[in-house]
A and B are shown apart, each in its own frame.
Chain A
Amino acid sequence: MAKLTPPLPRPLRPKPKPPSEDGNGPTTPKEKVAEAGIGLVDWVDERTALSGGARWLMFRKIPKGTNWFYTLGSATLIAFLSQTVTGVFLAMYYDPSPTRAYDSVRHLTNDVFLGELVRGMHKWGSTVMVILVFLHMARTFFWGAYKYPRELNWVIGVVLLILTLFMSFTGYLLPFDQRSYWATIVGVAINGTGPLIGPYLNDFLRAGPEFGATTLARFYALHMLVLPGALIAMIGAHLYLVARQGTTAPPWMKADAKPELRQEAT
C-alpha cells in the first residue's frame, strides 16, 4: 500500500539524538573536549591523508643495538632549528649596513631584553652545530652506514656539511668588528687562490674589487636567505632517505641466527 500521508516538512521532523545523548558518546566535559580534538584531526586527515605519512615517518622499525650515537643526527637538526629561530629574531634588530652594523649588534646585545642570550645562543650554537655535524659524520663513517644503499644520503650529507661551513663563513662577518672584518678579508683571499675562476668568485663575493658598500648586505642575504633555503631543502631530502631506508645496525651486531627472524618485515 502506498503512503497515504506526505512526509513531514524537514524542519518539523523529530531530530535524532546527538551521539552525546544516546548513551554511547562522551558525557563529561573532558570527554567532549577530547572528542572535539579527535574530530578536528579527523577533519584534516580526511582531506589531506597526512596521518599515513606521519605514521610512515615516525613509527619505523629500528635495528637491534641502536644506541645514543644514533641521536647525533637529531641533535644536529635541533641545533639547526635553534639557529633558525634565534637567527630570525636577531634579524629583527640587525642592520646590514657597513656604517651601522656594529652599532646594531652592540645595541641588540647590550640593550635589548634577552638580547645577549639570543645572540649568544646563535653564536655558540653555530660552533656546536659544526661540531655535531662532524660527530654525526664520524658516526656514519665508523659504522659503515654510508654503504649501499645509503651512498646518496652520504653525498647529501656532504653537501649539508659544505652548506653549514658556508653559513659559518658568511655569518662570521655580520657582527662587523675588527675580527670578523679581517677574517673575511683572509677567507675571501683563500677563496681567490683557486686558479682561473678564483678572481671572479672574489669579485662576486665582495660585489666588486674591494670590500665595498654592498659586501655586507650580500653576505647577509646569502647567510639568511640563500644558504638556509638550500639547507632546508637538503635536510628534507636527507630525512626522507633516512625514513625510507631506515638506519643501520652497529657494526658489532651479529645477524639473528634464525632465518625467519632475519626476514625483512614489510
Chain B
Amino acid sequence: MSVDLSPVPDDRKPKKQVTTAERQIPGAFEGETVTRRRFMTGTVHTAGAIAAAAFTLPALGFAMGPVFERRPERWEAVGEVGDFPDDTYVPRTMTAVPGIGDVGKTTVYIRRYNAEIDSQPPDEFGQFIAISTRCMHLGCPVRFVEASARFICPCHGGVYDFEGKRTGGPPVRPLDRFYTRVRNGLLEVGPRFSVNSELKRFSPRDPGMPLDGIGQYLYPARQTERKLPGT
C-alpha cells in the first residue's frame, strides 16, 4: 500500500492540458488544446475590440489634445515707460487670447516697482508690476479702488491690498501677475504667473487653487502654461 507523501492534494495539482483529440472532437490536430470554437470566439472579440479602439482612442486623443498643448509665449506693448507711476495703478487692456475679438481681452493694472512698498527685490521682469484682474476666489474681475488703495471683487467680496495680497474675503492666494519688460522705451506685458503669499513665482494656476503649504502639489502646474524658465 503506497502512501501519498506529496503536500499538495491530488485535486489541487495543476491539471494536464486536455487536447482536442482526447476530447474526441472530430478533425482534431496533433497536440491541439484550444478548440476552434474558442479560438473563433476570441478572434471575433479581439477584432471587435481593435475596431472599437481604432476610432475611440483617436477621438479621445483629439478631444484631450489641448490639455497637452503648450501655449506660445506672447508679449504685447501696452504703453510708454513714462506712463506708469509707482504710487498707483494704471489700467491697460491687453489680449490674453488672440483671434476671438473682445472675448480674448483682459484688463491689467500696471505700476512701476516701488522699493518702499514692494517686498520682493525686482529682477529683469519685475521693474514694473502688472497685476491680473482675475480674482483668486473663483475668477471674477476685480477692480482697483483708488481711495482705499485696494483691489475689490464684486462677486463674493474678496479684498486685496496694494501689492495684490489677500486681506479679506474668500480668495486663496494673492492676485496673479504678468511678466513685464521694456523694449525700445515701450513697456511690454508677457505671460501670466501665479504667486504664493510671499509673492514667490509659480507657474500659472486657475482661481481657487491655493499655493501655500501643500497647495502647489494638490494643484500641480499644467503642460499648457508655464512660468518663464529660471524665474
Q: Which residues of A contact B (CB under 8 A)?
A: 98-99, 176, 181-182, 185-186, 188-190, 192-193, 195-196, 198-200, 202-204, 206-214
Contacts and interface: CB of A to CB of B under 8 A. Distances in A.
Interface of B: 63-64, 66-67, 69, 71, 96-97, 99-101, 103-104, 137-141, 155, 204-209, 218-225
Given A189-B207, A213-B97, A98 B67 contact: no
Nearest to B134: A185
Contact of B209 (A198, A208, A209, A210): A198
Given A98-B100, A214-B66, A196 B220 contact: yes
A97 B180 CA distance: 31
Contact of A208 (B66, B101, B137, B155): B66
8 contacts: A99-B100, A188-B139, A199-B205, A199-B220, A203-B222, A208-B71, A210-B71, A212-B104
A199 B222 CA distance: 7
Given A203-B224, A208-B66, A185 B140 contact: yes
Nearest to A208: B66
A98 B95 CA distance: 15
Given A186-B155, A192-B219, A199-B206, 17 more contacts: A98-B101, A98-B103, A99-B100, A99-B101, A176-B103, A182-B139, A186-B140, A195-B218, A195-B219, A199-B209, A199-B220, A203-B67, A203-B224, A204-B63, A209-B204, A210-B96, A213-B104
B132 to A, nearest CB: 11
A198 to B, nearest CB: 6
B146 to A, nearest CB: 24
Interface of B is mostly: loop
Nearest to A186: B138
The 10 closest A-B pairs by CB, nearest first: A209-B225, A207-B66, A98-B100, A195-B218, A209-B224, A189-B207, A189-B139, A189-B138, A193-B208, A185-B139
Contact of A203 (B66, B101, B104, B207): B66
A186 B139 contact: yes
B206 to A, nearest CB: 4
Contacts of B222: 199-200, 203, 209
B97 A210 contact: yes
Nearest to A213: B100
B104 to A, nearest CB: 8
A258 B63 CA distance: 62
A208 B141 CA distance: 20
A206 B206 CA distance: 12
B63 to A, nearest CB: 8
